[in-house]
Chain A
Amino acid sequence: MSFLKSFLIRAIYAIILLIAVLVLNFSLMHMAPGDVADTISQSMGGADAELLAQIRSDYGLDQPFLVQLGNYIGKVLQFDLGYSFFYNQSVTSLILQKLPATLLLVVTAQILALLIGVILGVYSARHPNGISSHFVTFLALFGYSAPVFWTGILLLIGFSLNVHWFPVAGMRDVTVEGGFWPHFVDIVRHMVLPVITLGSIFLALYSRLSRATMMEVLGSDYVRTAKAKGLSEREVVYKHALKNSLSPVITLAGLQFSAVISGAVLVESVFSWPGLGTLAFQSIIARDTPTILGILFFSALVVIVGNLLTDLALRFVDPRVGGKG
């Protein structure tokens, strides 16, 4: 099957999937009792029945379900994600406004976790019974099992409160003046704790997985052959074994990347990071249907694109994938 053809088929599936995601999410949101008019009245300290009715008619919430659904799908097909009830702006602009902060956080955490995780994994695979290997295992399991909001608050208490090394919340200090560098340093300082918190989950996954695959590969025939040829340990590990042990890690990284938002929701909330996670959390609380649907739609899009990219990356690392036969 040619690459193009398989790509096209997948793209068609993706579109069907996206519409299904929309319909399902819209129906689920609709089934929940209450609506955004209630949260708007909450934010206002109460409203009478007349005003509630007015809010509902303003946002078309008084129309029959199928009409609302049809209107929504129609709009999305024209690339219009609608208008946020709660933030009083268009959902697309809201998402685009929050996206850079989330990307910055998630991509940085991912890259660091991937690099450090693979290094730790390879190291502990080479010395599987050493103390330091056990330490890596412990660290990884701890990072994976500790809830992020707990790790986050703990880091805050340690490094923002006890020693004032890092700021508590947000992405930047708006009182910082000056050109590029002061702002750059400011953002980096704000990033440290959330990146560590978010990265600790990914790190655990990568280091455990690369340790396992590396140990498997190190025990295989061709590695023994390479050793028998008289290649140095270093050459065997990094030239022969590593490349082969990487493909599961890349698959995982791709899948994890798709979880951009799910992973970031809690971390962003703890650190008041102004990204999509915080937005998702707040709009769920506010029952801001267009924003929630917009974010879910966007997440679905990221998952699908992420899978496609993972596929491409695997072809690159492992020529057998997607080949004939």
Chain B
Amino acid sequence: MQHQWEEFNLKHLVKGLVAATALASVLTASVVTAEEPKRGGTLVTVLGANPRSLNPAVQSGIVTGYPGAQLFAAPLRYDEDWTPQPYLAKSWDVSEDGLKVTLNLVHNATFHDGHPITSSDVAFSVKVIQENHPFKSMFAPVTSVDTPDEHTAIINLSKPHPALMLAMSGQLMAIIPEHIYGDTDNVKAHPRNNKDVVGSGPFKLVEFVSGEHVILERYDDFFIEGRPYLDKIVMRVIADPAARAIALENGEVQMSGFEALPRIVNRLKKVETLTVTSEGYGAIGPLDWLAMNTGSDGPTGNVKVRHAIAYAIDKNFILKALMQGTAVEAKTGIHPDSPFYEADVENYALDLDKSNALLDEAGYPKNGDGVRFDLTIDFGWPGVKPQVEYVKAALKKVGINVTVRASADFPTWAKRMGAMDFDLSWDTVFNWGDPVIGVHRTYLSSNIGKGVWSNTQGYANARVDEILGMAGTETDPEKRKALYSEFQKIITQELPVYWTNALPYHTVYSDKIGNPPLGVWGTSSPIDMVYLKD
């Protein structure tokens, strides 16, 4: 009884304290009001690899995206809720038939050399991106860009193209100056992609020393009044994740994006001065999966075998033991944070009996040694070796003898995948904004065997081709969602790949950082709102 009383008393005490704290915080809040962003200061942040180019119009990828989105502005930006916001375009309009997208540019925008940013720069940028950017699907339906006046750009489309909205944001549509890059047909090799960059974004380039750092400085005539808040950004190139973690811990570096090693993410979560969040990766949409050669004449060509493989793999083991609780489950080819994600799909929870039964049904009985057949599994980078070893061990339980084929490096693996010379492989693929850009490529039969990260599984389903074709041009969001829902139900039935988890990307930032970049594009969007607290 006494014990109960004590507990009761303690609860009271705690409640009282909570109430008092709440009251206190209300009081202080009314005095301070929501924290006012502060101008000035230098943010030290990191890049996990050396960017090949600082010009996102010709070079994709996350290490170009971070400095690229600071140097160059896009027409739109996105908030945390997938809602487009005005940026270089103060407003926009999509015509009734979906074939004309009109951008009304802000009037006071200038490039870093003082030249005004006009609609002809927009038209030029679209052309350069169409010619050089690897994501051809972004602007494939764009037939021309009209420029009725300096501040109006009309994008003409051959068919409705809802993916254009996300493709006009983040790092995907950098507006680059025609008067600088217009002097050559090969913008990819332009020397000013890496030095003396003249950008349109909130920060201008001071110095880029390859392999060392990118230094950016506030552009005082940026078109949004009062922004950016920071005076300077130093992006250090630190390739070693352990060294990056130590630099974050001791305060040498104040912010880092795309940290994905579970061990390091969990360690940094324990550091008091740091916040670790997985927010801000919805648009990048990175997924881990087990690819299965669906077009193969071997066992993986049989859908029952693919089901059996899925039933033999314990996703919980991958999430809890390998990812150490840092990653969320992925059930389909669309990232769980996407508005198009369909959670109500076949889930293949661990069931060895079912797996064995399916393999028997498929005509692969166990031989005298308990082995049904042999498969190989590939992987392209050392980080995913644990997953590959786990798959080997898990499939052994149902009589599939898996041999791990290591690749010396990424190109070796990419060659095998591109040539569809594999049974199973671990793979990581990004959604890159709209499903049209990063999702369709894996499942369209017209994209079979076109190099790494195409439809390397050799998956072909006429209905999927049809749905994706319709979803790519459907302008009504609800109807589009329904189409993608059907698509996800089909692919989870046929399993050209078995999705396991979203890659555990995390943004780590110190408690000195205000307004960390947590929109759907994370650090691949402008950080003009980030500021340093006192």
Contacts and interface: CB of A to CB of B under 8 A. Distances in A.
A68 B136 CA distance: 30
A220 interface: no
Contacts of A50: 136
B38 interface: no
B324 interface: no
Contact of B430 (A45, A52, A89, A274): A45
Contacts of B415: 33-34, 38
Interface string A255-295: 00000000000000111101000110010110100000000
Contacts of A167: 252
B12 interface: no
A171 B64 CA distance: 23
Given A46-B441, A168-B250, A269 B239 contact: yes
Interface string A163-184: 0100111110011000000000
Interface residues of B, number: 61
Contacts of A39: 410-411, 414
Interface string A112-146: 00000000000000000000000000000000000
Nearest to B194: A88
A1 B114 CA distance: 70
Interface string B476-516: 00000000000000000000000000000000000000000
Interface stretch (A16-24, A74-82, A154-162): A154-162
Contacts of B430: 45-46
Interface string A22-46: 0000000000111110111111111
A38 B240 contact: no
B211 interface: yes
A47 interface: yes
B452 interface: yes
B29 interface: no
Given A46-B452, A48-B134, A32 B432 contact: no
Given A34-B414, A41-B451, A97 B242 contact: no
A169 B356 CA distance: 52
A221 to B, nearest CB: 54
A158 to B, nearest CB: 11
Given A44-B59, A169-B238, A170-B236, A32 B212 contact: no
Contacts of B302: none
For the residues of B in contact with A, the DSSP-based class is: mixed
B213 interface: yes
Interface in B386-407: none
B355 interface: no
A174 to B, nearest CB: 5
B210 to A, nearest CB: 5
B155 interface: no
Contact of A94 (B53, B210, B432, B438): B210
A161 B411 contact: no
Contacts of B135: 45-46
24 contacts: A34-B411, A34-B415, A42-B410, A44-B61, A45-B134, A45-B453, A52-B451, A87-B52, A87-B211, A88-B53, A156-B243, A161-B246, A161-B250, A164-B251, A169-B252, A174-B213, A174-B215, A174-B236, A269-B239, A269-B240, A272-B239, A279-B211, A284-B409, A285-B410
Interface of B: 42, 44, 49-50, 52-53, 59-64, 134-136, 188-189, 193-194, 209-213, 215, 234, 236-240, 242-244, 246-247, 249-252, 408-416, 418, 429-430, 432, 438, 441, 447, 450-454
10 tightest A-B CB contacts, nearest first: A34-B411, A46-B453, A38-B414, A44-B60, A38-B411, A47-B134, A34-B415, A168-B247, A49-B450, A274-B212
Given A43-B60, A51-B134, A269-B239, 10 more contacts: A32-B411, A38-B410, A44-B134, A45-B134, A46-B441, A48-B451, A174-B236, A270-B243, A278-B211, A284-B409
